[in-house]
Structure 1
Amino acid sequence: MKRIRLIALLFALCLPLCGCMQAVRLNNRAIVQGIGIDLAEDGYLVTLQIFDAKGGGSQTAVDASKANSMTLQASGRTIAEAISAAELKQGKEIFYGQNKLIVVGEEVARQGLETIISFFNANPQSRPNVDIAMADGRAVDVMTAQISQGVLPVLSVKSLLENSRTSGRILRGQVLDVVDAIENGRLGTFMPILVKSGEGEEETVEVLGTALYRHSQLVGRADEPATRGLLWLRDDVKRTDLVVQHPKLGDVSLAVVRADTHIQPQIVDGVPHFVITCKTRSHINESIVTPENAALFQSITDLERMETDVIRAEMERALELSLRDCGTDLLELANLLDKYQHEWFVANCERYDELLPQFTWELQVSSEITRYGLQT
């Protein structure tokens, strides 16, 4: 009985110690929605997009017709010092728990992402699934874009990224992806490239392509076809649209509604060889069957072949760019080799980056059109 009372007493004494962070009133916090990081003469320039409700009637009211945000800039020899300087300017504690996006300037990306990622990875407020993107130039230009759509500018950018990924236009990058690439030591990583465009009321942010990294070092860029090629290869295409040009039907728009890709690693003459199988299912979007173009049904096989050619070309372009030109593993081939060709991997893992451009592949692509569009 005494033992039970002692345990209960110890438990009661521990209750006041459960909190690991000092409580801070909400109105004493600057709630960060987006962070931009650029190089500066003395270290880093940090641009913070902070939630600042513009509605009337209360401090937390939101006016959807306004930006509901303010921008704060500060510099320091380190990112932590720059953030501290921002707190002094704002007079509030910076809170990252609601941060939606990190944008790194191109110069920061060329220098390497280790310092940036180590700061956010070690910060208890920062979430590992925060989106990360590279600016085409300076991050401050993206973070200060006066986007008129949406409640918050950064939420508009976030929606842009999500919609672009769903439609097969970008590879989404998150902090945890960069952390995995650094810790693995053999994998590369990627993130979308953002650029500010337009002026005044037409000012907005657009996706320019995909930044490619070897581990955490920027090594190249992928345009939209190469980006989609990587999406095919990574089995990440949820839906996308293709346009093929038929000699009789003209331009035909195809909606890919399903795609399945599998990669099988082999060792041929001591070199990794990958058999890549991709199967797609598509619908015809716009072709209208009339007496003049009644040949549509007889042309389905041709359209499937043309769709296959487009997909194969995009996959080839992505493989050449990533493996040959940039020497980076964006398809997690190292993990496949470790799992299915373990003996080769153990013997060659220390030379993996050196051997990567020697890898070979075989593409087996097939397409099936299952719906033929509007008929009249």
Structure 2
Amino acid sequence: MHKVYLFFLCCFCLLLAGCWDEVDIEERGFVIGVALDLAEEQTEGSPMITLTDQFAVPAGLGTPSEGGESSQKPYNNLSLDGQSLLQITRDMALIQGNAPFYEHLKLIVVSEELAREPGIFANSMDLLIRDPEMRRETKVIVSQQNAKEVLEIDSQIEPLPATHIETVNENRDKSGAIIEPLRIGNLNEYMLEKNNYLIPRVVPSDGKMMFKGAAIFDGKKNQLVDIIEEKDVVALNLIIGDFEGGFIKFESNDGMMIYEIKRAKSNIKINTDDSGHVNIDVEIDTEGNIAETFGDRSLLNKGTINEIDKQISERIEQKASSIIKKAQEDIGIDFFGFSQIMQTKHYKEWEKIKDNWDQGENIFQNATVNVKAETTIRSSGTTDKTEE
């Protein structure tokens, strides 16, 4: 009996031994943001990459007891060049007092220049995805200019640039010109399934930053192939049914009007009866109000509202058809998710044509896409008259 007690006592002692890999929090170098650029100076062989880590400086963030302010800068950006990201992070530990620690990473910024180079983006993301410290919720964006410039923007609200950008990317209920934030977990799925995907794009200017359009990536090559602007992003979100809020500007008979969209949904039907030719029907249904008008017509007249309904529907159809035409004729790849719909609803037909969808015979480029929009104005929003 005493031997049994002794055995359990030894087992409990092992549980009290503590964590063998414990590291004091003071020794952590908390990385909040990461930027990837092509180095200014290149050597023969593998390309040189500039990795910038944004380290949070707790003393600069302040505490409530200190009034939340500090004269010290709340972050420190450290940039190093190298051919291997793993090597660069290890070299940072020789410069930075606290070794880089990525479990609190909020943002990864990649320059367009690097993303256009074959193989570099995929290899870089692969390393970050497999890093055990990496969280699946970390967001990825593309920068028009050097990515490290994005981690130096000024913000009067957020002390850390990486946190500021992450917050702005969530304002999709205010503007339809922003695509859904891309998390590195979703990026991993796209890369594994070889589906084309979009990454939010930012443009730094004069110490500030603004989301402008989206970067289109070829899912087979994991390489940036083109850019779409804000007006096209609005149409894209309406097509794929991922519109959380925003507006449409259009010209009426007597001036410009702003249609604020409160609700939007889409229905996409694909006819694959003819494997050599695919027909796609896109139905877009929106509800909203006239938020602003520069004309003098009364918005209380039902005939006027019906006319405006028709004008808005035509405007939405025009915008949606324009981006679809651009995808088919200029860009040449499907980034609307039509292929995913076919995989889900028409699997047998998809297996026959998947190798020729946006390559080979380019079935997507030759597909017939019909867009139909229905608009409902629930409120006039503004008027200079009252209903009698």
- How high is the TM-score relative to the length of structure 1? 0.87
Look up the SS of the partner of 2:258 in the other structure: strand
Determine whether 1:175 maps to 2:184: yes
Q: Is the alpha carbon distance of 1:246 and 1:67 closer, same or farther for their aligned partners in structure 2, counting shifts above 3 Å?
A: farther
Instruction: Tell me: CA distance 1:27–1:374, structure 2 relative to 1, closer, same or farther (3 Å).
Output: same
* In structure 2, C-alpha distance between the alignment counterparts of 1:9 and 1:351, rounded to whole Å: 67
Q: What is residue 68 of structure 1 aligned with on the other side?
A: 74
Note the 1:258-337 alignment, pairs <5 A: 258-270=263-275, 271-287=277-293, 293-294=297-298, 296-297=300-301, 298-337=303-342
Q: What residue in structure 1 maps to residue 216 of structure 2?
A: 212
4+ residue runs of structure 1 moved beyond 4 angstroms? 4-19, 55-62, 64-67
CA–CA separation in structure 2 for the residues paired with 1:5 and 1:275: 74
C-alpha change, 1:59 and 1:6, in structure 2 (3 Å) is same
CA distance in 2, matches of 1:22, 1:60: 34
Query: What letter matches 1:107 in structure 2?
Result: E
Conserved? CA contact 1:66–1:148, under 8 Å = no
Shift of 1:25: 1.3
Match of 2:205 in 1: 197
Distance in structure 2 (CA, Å) of the matches to 1:67 and 1:261 = 47
Sequence identity of aligned pairs in percent? Answer: 20
Contact 1:62 1:68 in 2 (8 A): no
Instruction: Determine if contact 1:67/1:147 at 8 Å carries over to the other structure.
Output: no
1:100 is aligned to 2:100:
no
Mapped contact 1:285–1:374 kept (Cα < 8 A): yes
- Larger % of helix: which? 1
Name the CA shift for 1:16/1:104 in 2 (closer, same or farther; >3 Å): farther
Alignment partner, residue 233 of structure 1: 239
- Matches of 1:116 and 1:95 in 2, distance apart? 17
Query: 2:92 is matched with which residue: 86, 89, 101?
Result: 86
What is the alpha-carbon distance in structure 2 between the residues aligned to residue 302 and residue 64 of structure 1? 58
Counterparts of 1:17 and 1:342, CA distance in 2: 54
Relative distance call for 1:86 and 1:266 in structure 2 (3 A) is same
Q: Match of 2:358, SS? A: helix
**Which residue of structure 1 lines up, in the alignment, with residue 142 of structure 2?**
134
Return the letter of the residue paired with 1:206.
M
Equivalent residue, structure 2, for 1:22: 21
Unaligned runs of 5+ in 2: none
Match of 2:133 in 1: 125
1:161-203 deviation per Cα after TM superposition (whole angstroms, max 9, x unaligned): 2225652112132222322222112x111112212212xxxx2
Per the TM alignment, residue 134 of structure 1 is displaced from its structure 2 partner at its CA by 1.0
The equivalent residue for 1:223 is 229
Tell me the distance in 2 between the aligned counterparts of 1:183 and 1:106.
22
CA deviation vs aligned residue, 1:241-281 (integer Å, no higher than 9, x gap): 12222213x22221100001111111153222211111000
1:129 CA drift (Å): 2.2
Where does the alignment leave 5 or more consecutive residues of structure 1 unmatched? Answer: none
Q: Is the 8 A contact 2:138 2:183 kept in 1?
A: yes
Please give the per-residue CA displacement for 1:321-355, whole angstroms capped at 9, x wherever unaligned: 33432233322222211222222111222333323
CA distance in 2, matches of 1:7, 1:269: 73
Q: Structure 1 residues 81, 307: closer, same or farther in 2, change over 3 A?
A: same
Give a deviation string over 1:211-266, Cα, whole Å, max 9, x none.
Answer: 11111111100011111111111211011112222213x22221100001111111
- Residue 55 of structure 1 deviates from its aligned partner by 5.2
Distance 1:62 1:46, change over 3 A: farther
Q: Aligned partners of 1:305, 1:143: CA distance in 2, in Å? A: 45
In 2, Cα distance between equivalents of 1:225 and 1:374: 24
Contact 1:287-1:373 within 8 A present in 2 as well:
no
In structure 2, how many angstroms separate the alpha carbons of the residues matched to 1:92 and 1:75?
19
Contact 2:93 2:100 in 1 (8 A): yes
Distance of 1:244 and 1:117 partners within structure 2:
41
Query: What CA distance in whole angstroms lies between the structure 1 residues aligned with 2:380 and 2:76?
Result: 50
Aligned length: 366
Contact 2:35–2:148 under 8 Å retained in 1: yes
In the alignment, the residues of structure 2 paired with residue 207 and residue 39 of structure 1 have an alpha-carbon distance, to the nearest angstrom, of: 22
Pick aligned residue for 1:244 from 246, 250, 262: 250
- SS of 2:182's equivalent in the other structure is coil
